[in-house]
Each structure stands twice: as C-alpha cells, then as structure tokens.
C-alpha cells in the first residue's frame, strides 16, 4: 500500500484525537444526561406555552409572502432537487438512467466509486462494524448495513450500543435507525442519497419517532473515499440528530475506516471517535 495513504489515515486519526473533547470528569453520566434531555416533559411544556403565544397575524404574513408564483417556484425547485432535473439523464448518465449499475465494490473497475456507467449488477449490499470511543469510561460498538435492490433505492439499518462506567455501576444506551432511501445522485465519483424512516433509543427510557436521513460518499482518490451521513428525528417531541463521518480505505471488497460520530439531543451530546471494518457482498 502506498506510503502517502497510511500517512493520511494517521494524520486524520491524530487530528480527531487532538480535537477538543470534554473530559469524562466533567461529563460523568453523559448517557443519563442524554436520556433526561429526551424525556424532559417540563421543558416541552414550556416550549408548547411559547408556541401558543405565536401571533396569528405572523402566520398570515408568512403565507402571503410565498403565495402565487413564489410558492410554485419553491415547490418546483424542491421537487427537482429531491428527484431529478430536466435532461439530467443526458448530462450525468449517458442518455439514460438504465446505464447506472453497481460495481462489485468501490474501485473494482477503471472508474471510481460503487456505481458504474459501463456494466455491473443491479443489486448491492454492504456492512460496516465499528468501535466507538469517547474515553475509558464511555465506549460502544456500532453496526450499519445498506441493501440496494435497485440502483435508485436502498434500505438502511443503523445500530449503536454505548456503555458508560459510573462511580456506582454502569449505564447503557441503544440507538437505532431504519430508513428507506432514494439514491439521488448515482455517478461514479459522487453518490448522494436521502430517505425517511424511524429513529429510536432504548435504555432507562425508550422512545421511537419519525426521522429524515441524508448522506453522501465521495470517491476523491483511489483507494480512498469520504463518507458523510446526517439524520434528524423526533423522540418524545425532542429533536435528536446524528452526524457520522468516515474516511475509508478500500482494499478490494473490504474497507478500513476512521471517523467521528456525534448524537445530540438538546444540550446533551454523545460524541466519539470511530474505527472499524466494512465489507461489500
């Protein structure tokens, strides 16, 4: 393997380690703080009271501002952004969306990425397993899987189990997501997808709610790629978001990666470094 690849991977790892993280002594009980933030009914009641004071006249002014041609333009732009632009197939997919296939794995052929515009298969399946590390007292394991029965659709599942050592005993939290994604951009160097689904948590309290998912993978230089995923959902009327970043090193069907993961709810967050391995089946 080229020396510069290993140097880049190590530089990213050192940069993540050097990034500011609050010490465990200050963050004792991070899982408990996170669960309390999601389960805080008093705060939600205050937010509801604030919403009740909203002036109806403001609503009328807002809707009037985007009525007519403005509303049509916004709707049209949103539709094209989410699904397709006119002549997109000619510009990006050599005249037809049917030209898009999956490679056996990233960088398998002469082109870049998982998608191929020459030949390939219609189905793709990949798995990733990782270790989560915030400190000696807060750590976890994660799992992610994506199955694409067609190049433009994918089913995605995500799971993270965190364990925290406390002064008396330990605490744990399970976080999970399930999405049906539309693979919006399916080019060889860049893939973008978005989807709808469910977000959930289970620990001393359990909640499930609707969620939105957005992700991308950029194949910027063989054998590397950058993976970015962001999801946001509502658990017990609390906004919960997750940021997941990964630098991947592709070795045929396998992927070695380093990255960062952050799950936040209100003022509470659970963040840490991740490292792991993936496989394309």
- Of 6-15, 97-106, 131-140, 184-193, the one with minimum mean pLDDT is 6-15
Q: Domain for residue 44, yes or no?
A: no
Q: How do 101-102 and 254-265 pair as beta strands?
A: unpaired
Cα angle, residue 215 at apex, residues 96 and 152 outer, rounded to 5°:
25
Range of the domain at 212: 3-39+83-280
Strand-pair partners of 38? none
In 3-state terms, the chain is what percent helix, strand and coil (to 5)? 25, 50, 25
Q: What is the DSSP letter of 98?
A: G
User: Residue 189's domain is classified under what CATH number?
Assistant: 2.40.160
Average pLDDT over residues 193-202: 95
Q: Domain for residue 69, yes or no?
A: no
Q: Reply yes or no on whether the pLDDT at 119 is more than 70.
A: yes
Q: What is the pLDDT of residue 22?
A: 42
pTM of this structure: 0.77
Q: What is the pLDDT of residue 81?
A: 75
Q: Reply yes or no on whether the pLDDT at 11 is more than 70.
A: no
Q: Reply yes or no on whether the pLDDT at 91 is more than 50.
A: yes
Average pLDDT over residues 43-56: 52
Are the beta carbons of 280 and 270 closer than 8 angstroms? Answer: no
Average pLDDT over residues 99-108: 89
Report how far Cα 34 is from the mean position of its chain's Cα atoms: 19
Q: Reply yes or no on whether the pLDDT at 38 is more than 80.
A: yes
Q: What is the pLDDT of residue 23?
A: 39
For residues 134 and 53, the model is more confident at: 134
Q: Domain for residue 201, yes or no?
A: yes
Buried-state track 223-250, b at ≥16 Cβ within 10 A, e below 16: bbbbbebbbbbbbbebebbbbbbbbbbb
For the beta carbon of residue 19, count every other beta carbon within 10 angstroms.
10
Q: Domain for residue 65, yes or no?
A: no
pLDDT band at 43 (very low <50, low <70, confident <90, very high): low
Number of domains into which the chain is organized: 1
Give 83's Cβ-side CA count (13 Å radius): 7
Query: Can you list the positions of beta strands (E) in the chain?
Result: 101-102, 115-116, 124-135, 138-150, 153-165, 170-186, 190-202, 206-221, 224-235, 238-251, 254-265, 268-280
Q: Domain for residue 62, yes or no?
A: no
Q: Domain for residue 199, yes or no?
A: yes
Q: What is the pLDDT of residue 21?
A: 45
Query: How many angstroms separate the Cα of 238 from the Cα of each of 37, 115, 200?
Result: 8, 37, 12
Residue with tokens 């005249």: 95
Q: Domain for residue 47, yes or no?
A: no
Average pLDDT over residues 110-130: 87
Are the beta carbons of 156 and 138 closer than 8 angstroms? Answer: no
pLDDT band at 26 (very low <50, low <70, confident <90, very high): very low
Which pLDDT tens digit goes with each residue over 248-269? 999 999 999 999 999 999 888 9
Q: Reply yes or no on whether the pLDDT at 222 is more than 80.
A: yes
Q: Domain for residue 172, yes or no?
A: yes
């Amino acid at each position: 393997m080229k020396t510069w690849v290993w140097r880049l991977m190590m530089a990213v790892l050192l940069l993540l380690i050097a990034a500011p993280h609050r010490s465990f002594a200050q963050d004792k009980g991070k899982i408990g703080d996170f669960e309390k933030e999601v389960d805080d009914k008093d705060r939600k009641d205050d937010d509801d009271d604030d919403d009740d004071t909203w002036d109806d006249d403001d609503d009328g002014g807002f809707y009037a501002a985007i009525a007519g041609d403005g509303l049509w333009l916004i709707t049209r732009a949103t539709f094209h952004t989410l699904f397709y632009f006119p002549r997109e197939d000619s510009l990006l997919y050599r005249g037809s969306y049917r030209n898009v296939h999956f490679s056996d794995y990233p960088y398998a052929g002469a082109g870049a990425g998982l998608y191929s515009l020459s030949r390939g298969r219609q189905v793709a399946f990949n798995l990733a397993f990782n270790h989560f590390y915030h400190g000696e007292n807060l750590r976890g394991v994660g799992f992610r899987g994506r199955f694409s029965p067609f190049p433009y659709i994918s089913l995605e599942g995500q799971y993270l189990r965190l364990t925290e050592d406390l002064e008396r005993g330990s605490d744990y939290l399970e976080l999970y997501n399930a999405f049906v994604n539309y693979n919006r951009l399916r080019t060889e160097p860049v893939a973008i997808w978005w989807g709808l689904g469910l977000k959930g948590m289970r620990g001393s309290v359990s909640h499930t709610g609707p969620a939105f998912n957005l992700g991308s993978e950029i194949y910027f230089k063989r054998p590397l790629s950058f993976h970015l995923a962001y999801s946001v959902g509502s658990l017990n009327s609390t906004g919960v978001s997750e940021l997941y970043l990964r630098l991947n090193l592709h070795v045929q069907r396998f992927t070695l990666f380093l990255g960062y993961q952050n799950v936040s709810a209100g003022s509470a967050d659970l963040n840490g470094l991740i490292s792991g391995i993936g496989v394309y089946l």
